[in-house]
């Protein structure tokens, strides 16, 4: 499991970081969730990664956060620049998936929350370099959530980028690659996610969510991607969560999805899941 999405190599370290708070200032250093993520504005899912288009990255970083006020902060981070450059979609990597970068990914984030609404725009700037050639990429994301009625919650997420790559979720899309002219070039990507969580009772929730992502076909035309690379992905899921006690949760759900590659060939899946989780 390489750096394409979880930055694990051999012996696996998920989180290892230190954090220091000085009044309104917070400094973090180590490996943890990327500053480009926003947990408040994504759908809950039994397998955690949820639908296509949801950012899911742990990586080494140095982050500074300024707490503006209650439920409101800004942050900026320098994060691991390893790219997963590709010549044929997610499965064929150039230079073992690594580049010769000297510039870390730069991520800026704003987060706001009150008793009903959360709102979080983010931006990432990236520099790709391989074999003496370089290109800049960027990604934009916006997640928001709204509580309504008696404990219900709606969420929406939007993402767009040119070279966003692994920030698009689970390494399903490429960030950049070598085109037919031998130059480093970036790939466009866009996605939308959302759904609703209904509070059926105080200890029972029903979640219904979906996500759609698309990688630009221009990457195939330019020779960066092959016909096996992913073009579009869509899935929806529904989960029922029951907190039997404050420590024990039971859940059951179904996920249905499909994917289409650059050759217009499609595949689909249906997955049923259940678990009993004890929190201690």
Summarised one tens digit per residue, pLDDT across range 76-126 is 999 987 655 554 444 445 555 556 667 899 999 999 999 999 999 999 999
φ, ψ dihedrals at 80, nearest 5°? -50, 125
Higher pLDDT, 207 or 169: 207
Look at the block and give the residue holding tokens 């249905």.
256
Residue 278, in any domain of the structure: no
Q: What pTM was estimated for this model as a whole?
A: 0.89
Give the per-residue pLDDT at 173.
79
Residue 8, in any domain of the structure: no
Residue 202, in any domain of the structure: no
**Is 5:168 a contact under the CB 8 Å cutoff?**
no
53 C-beta neighbours (distance < 10 Å), count: 28
Q: The domain containing residue 64 runs over which residues?
A: 16-196
- For residues 195, 231, 5, 234, the Cα torsion angle rounded to the nearest 10 degrees is 20
Residue 65, in any domain of the structure: yes
Q: DSSP labels for the chain?
A: --TTTT---SS--S-EEEEEEETTEEEEEEEEE-TT--GGGS---TTSS-STT----EEEEEEEEEEEETTEEEEEEEE------BSSSTTSBGGGG-----S-EEEEEEEEE-SSEEEEEEEEEEEEEETTEEEEEEEEEEEEEEEETTTEEEEEEEEEEES-GGGGTTT-S--EEE-TTS-EEE-EEEEEEEEEEEEEETTEEEEEEEEEEEE-THHHHTTSS-TTSEEEEEEEEEEEEEESSSSEEEEEEEEEEEEEETTS-EEEEEEEEEEEEE--
Residue 88, in any domain of the structure: yes
Residue 210, in any domain of the structure: no
* 193, two tokens: 């996610």
Residue 49, in any domain of the structure: yes
Percent of the chain with pLDDT over 70: 88
The span from the CA of 182 to the CA of 96, in Å, is 17
Residue 148, in any domain of the structure: yes
87-97 burial: b if 16+ Cβ within 10 Å, else e: bbbbeebbeeb
- Average pLDDT score over residue span 152-162: 96
The span from the CA of 77 to the CA of 112, in Å, is 18
Give the per-residue pLDDT at 81.
77
Q: Which of 79, 62, 75 is nearest to 24 (CA)?
A: 75
The number of folded domains in the chain is 1
Cα R_g (the chain), whole angstroms = 19
Summarised one tens digit per residue, pLDDT across range 243-266 is 999 999 999 999 999 999 999 999
Q: Which of 32, 50, 30 is nearest to 41 (CA)?
A: 50
Q: Across all residues in the chain, what is the average pLDDT?
A: 88
């Amino acid at each position: 499991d390489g750096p394409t999405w979880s930055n694990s190599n051999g012996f696996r370290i998920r989180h290892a970081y230190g954090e220091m708070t000085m009044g309104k200032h917070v400094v973090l250093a180590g490996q943890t969730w990327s500053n480009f993520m926003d947990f408040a504005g994504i759908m809950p899912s039994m397998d955690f990664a949820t639908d296509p288009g949801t950012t899911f990255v742990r990586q080494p970083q140095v982050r500074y956060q300024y707490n503006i006020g209650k439920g409101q902060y800004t942050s900026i981070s320098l994060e691991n620049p390893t790219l997963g450059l590709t010549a044929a979609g997610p499965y064929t990597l150039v230079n073992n998936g690594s580049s010769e970068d000297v510039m870390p990914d730069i991520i800026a984030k704003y987060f706001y929350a009150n008793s009903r609404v959360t709102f979080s725009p983010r931006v990432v700037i990236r520099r790709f370099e391989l074999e003496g050639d370089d290109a800049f990429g960027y990604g934009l994301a916006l997640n928001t959530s709204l509580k309504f009625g008696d404990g219900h919650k709606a969420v929406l997420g939007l993402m767009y980028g040119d070279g966003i790559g692994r920030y698009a979720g689970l390494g399903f899309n490429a960030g950049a690659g070598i085109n037919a002219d031998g130059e480093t070039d970036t790939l466009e990507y866009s996605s939308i996610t959302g759904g609703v969580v209904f509070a059926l009772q105080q200890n029972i929730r029903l979640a219904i969510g979906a996500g759609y992502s698309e990688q630009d076909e221009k990457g195939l035309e330019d020779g960066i991607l092959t016909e096996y690379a992913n073009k579009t992905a869509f899935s929806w899921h529904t989960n029922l969560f029951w907190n039997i006690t404050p420590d024990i949760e039971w859940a059951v759900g179904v996920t249905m999805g499909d994917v289409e590659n650059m050759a217009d060939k499609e595949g689909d899946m249906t997955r049923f899941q259940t678990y009993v989780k004890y929190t201690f």
